Amino acid sequence: MHGSVFTQLERYVVAGHPAGTWEALLSRAGLRERTYDPLDNYPDEEMTRLVDAVVEASGASRQGILEDFGAALAPALLRMYWSLVDESWRTLDVLEHTEANIHRVVRLKHARAAPPALEMARTRPGEVILTYRSPRRLCALARGIARGIAGHYGERLEAEDLACVHRGDAECVIAFRVTEEAP
Ligand code: HEM
């Protein structure tokens, strides 16, 4: 997984917490003194261990943590690739164009980065349906990223899980609907 996701996880974990929180989390995850370079790549298994440690330390659900982290990560993702985001776009337009315009460029620029191939269908003006298939099974992160993008545009977004690998389905299908548009 791309180093920027690890450095953003650190920011998410330390926000509002005392000094030493990240180091304590690294130890809990068996990764003492590990450092992450935002331009490098690291094993997915380390992200799993870190998220497990956050779940243990916080007592919150794994899906809840991933969704919350996704929402916190979204503004940083938007900033990193702002040049690819058309100024006329709003939440659903960003979602619709993530695969062709953004994840595709991430793969070109970072040979070892492997963002998931997202199928986004604009079914009607206020709705985008995402089909997510990734061995990382991070659909909750996807839900959170979408929520964070909506937060950036000041729009209200509803997400309905139509199918989910965590419920035994073969893939995750999420319907995103904007219920309140930005003025
Ligand atoms: C500005 C927009 C976006 C940027 C710059 C971006 C970039 C990235 C990057 C760099 C990664 C890490 C890839 C790796 O470690 O190999 C990633 C992963 C991911 N992205 Fe995006 N992304 C964006 C929008 C989205 C959106 C809108 C969604 C879904 C709603 C999404 C879903 C995910 C998920 C779930 C992962 C985790 C890896 C996986 O599931 O296999 N991303 N993205």
Give the distance (Å) from ligand 1 centre to CA of residue 138: 10
Give the distance (Å) from ligand 1 centre to CA of residue 130: 13
Q: What are residue 161's DSSP bridge partners?
A: 174
Nearest-atom index, ligand 1, CA of 77: 5
In this predicted model, what pLDDT tens digit does every residue of 76-135 receive, in sequence order? 999 999 999 999 999 999 999 999 999 999 999 988 889 999 999 999 999 999 999 999
HSE, side-chain direction, 13 A CA sphere, residue 93: 10
Residue 95 near residue 128, CB atoms below 8 Å? yes
Type of residue found at 96 = E
Average pLDDT over residues 153-164: 97
Nearest-atom index, ligand 1, CA of 2: 15
Nearest CA to 144 out of 36, 5, 2 is that of 5
Ligand 1 mutation pick, 6, 79, 85, 106, max ligand atoms within 8 A of CB: 106
Give the distance (Å) from ligand 1 centre to CA of residue 103: 7
Residue 133 near residue 177, CB atoms below 8 Å? no
| pLDDT tier for residue 181 given thresholds of 50, 70 and 90 | confident
| pLDDT tier for residue 180 given thresholds of 50, 70 and 90 | confident
Does residue 183 carry a pLDDT above 80?
Answer: no
Give the distance (Å) from ligand 1 centre to CA of residue 118: 9
What pLDDT, on a 0 to 100 scale, did the predictor assign at position 57? 94
What pLDDT, on a 0 to 100 scale, did the predictor assign at position 111? 85
Residue 92 near residue 127, CB atoms below 8 Å? yes
Q: How would DSSP label each residue in 100-132?
A: IIIIHHHHHHSTT-----EEEEEEETTEEEEEE
Instruction: Round to whole Å and give the CA distance between 125 and 75.
Output: 24
What pLDDT, on a 0 to 100 scale, did the predictor assign at position 164? 98
Give the distance (Å) from ligand 1 centre to CA of residue 142: 7
